[in-house]
Structure 1
Amino acid sequence: MMANVYANELEARIFSARSTFGKTEDVVVKLEYSNTGAQTTHIHNWCLPSNELYDPLFTVTCNDVPVEYLGPVIKRREPTIDDVIPVAPGKTISTIVRLSSVYDMTQTCNYSIQYNMPIEHVIFRHAQTLKTLPDKPISKLQSHIQSNNIRLAVEGRSNIKHRQNNIMTVRKRAASLNYVGCSENATSDIIAAVSNALNYSNNAFIYLNRKKPTGTNRYTTWFGTFVLTNWNT
C-alpha cells in the first residue's frame, strides 16, 4: 500500500522536441518524474535510463496495434537503497530516451507513445514510511504510473535488433529439423548445409550493418554498381 500512496505523488511526463522523424533519425523523447508530494520519493535507478532502454518502460502503438519491445528484459536482484534515486518534494528529474533502437518502428506510422509501468517496478517501497499514509480508500490508489500520451510521425526504418531476433528464430527452427527417409550421411550433410547457410547469412547481416554504405568489393561482386536503396533493402 505504501508504494501506491507515493505513486499518487509521483508524476511522469514525456515530451518530444519534434513531431516527425525521418528513417535515418533516432526517435527520442524526454522523460520527466516530478514529486508533487511533501515527502521524498525514491525511484529505482533503472527507471531513469541514460539514452538506451533496458526495460520496456513505454507502451508504443501503431494504428492502435501494440509495437513489439525488442530490447533487453533484465531479471534483477532484490533492490536496496543503493539502487534508487531520491526525488525531493517539488523536484523534477529527467532523462533522454532513444525509442527507435528498442521498439519495432519498421513501419511508417503515427506512433502513440506513453510511459506506463507498474508502481512496484518504479518506486522503492522500503524507503517509504507508514507515518505519511493519506486518509483515502485503497480502491482509489494507483496500480500503474502513466504519463501523458504523445503521437509522433515516424518513417519506417531498419532495426538491427529486429533482424537479430529473426535470425534467432530461423536458428531455432533449424535446430529442430526433422528427417524422413534420410540416411545417416544425408542427415549429416543437411545439418552442415543449414549451419553454413545460417553462418553465411549472419555474416552478411553483420557486414551490412557495420560497414558504411559504399560500393565495397563485396557489394559490387553481388549487386554491381552501388545504389544506396539496394544497400538498405
Structure 2
Amino acid sequence: MNLSAVIDDVNENPHRRRTFYEYPELYEFYHSQVLDREAQVGLLERFSPEEVTRVLEFGCGTGPLLARIEDDYDEVFGVDSNGSMLELAEEKVEKATLRRADFTEWSAADEGRVFDVAVLMGGLLHLTDDRDLESFAENAHESLRDGGTFVTFFEPLSDDVENGSWNVRTVESDRYTVERRSVSALTSGEGHYTTTHLFVIADEKRGTEARMGTVFRGRFHDPESLERAFSAAGFERVEAIDGEGPTVFRAVK
C-alpha cells in the first residue's frame, strides 16, 4: 500500500478508529525524514561492547536500522509485534532475520540464541505499564551474553516536560506531503501521556487528500525507575547518560 492507497483507504471510511502504525508506508515516509537514522547507527557503535558479531534490535519496525547494519555483523536479528511493519522490513533486508513477537513476552533465550548487544531505538515510550517494563528488562537480560550491552534512548520524565504541548511537522517528496499536527497532555504523575495526532496526507499528482486522526498513549520514564528495573533484572551496571538530544540508557550484563 503506497500513500495514495492510504488516502483512498482513509477516505473510504474516514471515521474508523485508526493508529499510525496501521500504515507502514506512512510510518516509513514520515519517519525517514524526521528521524536521524545514521545517529541510531552511531548510538549502536558508540555503546557496543568489544568484539561484537551479533546484534539484536527490539521493536525493529520497518527495518531501517537492520538494513544499514546487516553487512557489518555476522548475525543481525529484528523483533517486532506488528506484522505489517515486518512485511515492509522484509522488502528492505537481505541477511537480517526477522521475528514477529511482543518483546515484553519474547527473549532470544526462547530460541536458544544469545547476542552481544541489543538495542531499542526509542520504543520505551510504548512501555506504559511497570510490569511490561520489568518483563522487557528481564527479556533483554536473557537475550545477552555475559558482558553484553543493552542500549536505548528516551525523553525522561522531568519538570521540562510541557503539559499541553503543541507541535506541527511537515515532510514531503516530489509527489506527497504529510503534515502532522499534535497535542500532548500528561495524564498521570508517573509520566503517562496522551497525544492526539491529525495527519493531513496529500497526493499532489492526483490532487487528493485525506485527514486521519489517531490517539497514542505513551509514557515518559524516570531514569531512576529504569535503573531499578534493569538492576532487578540482573544487569551489573546501569546508567542514564544525558547529553545533546534524548537521554541514553545503557545496561551491561
Q: Does the TM-score normalized on the shorter chain lie above 0.5?
A: no
Greater radius of gyration (CA): 1
Greater percentage in strand: 2
Q: Which has the higher contact order (CA 8 A, sep 6+)?
A: 1
TM-score (norm 2): 0.22
TM-score (norm 1): 0.24
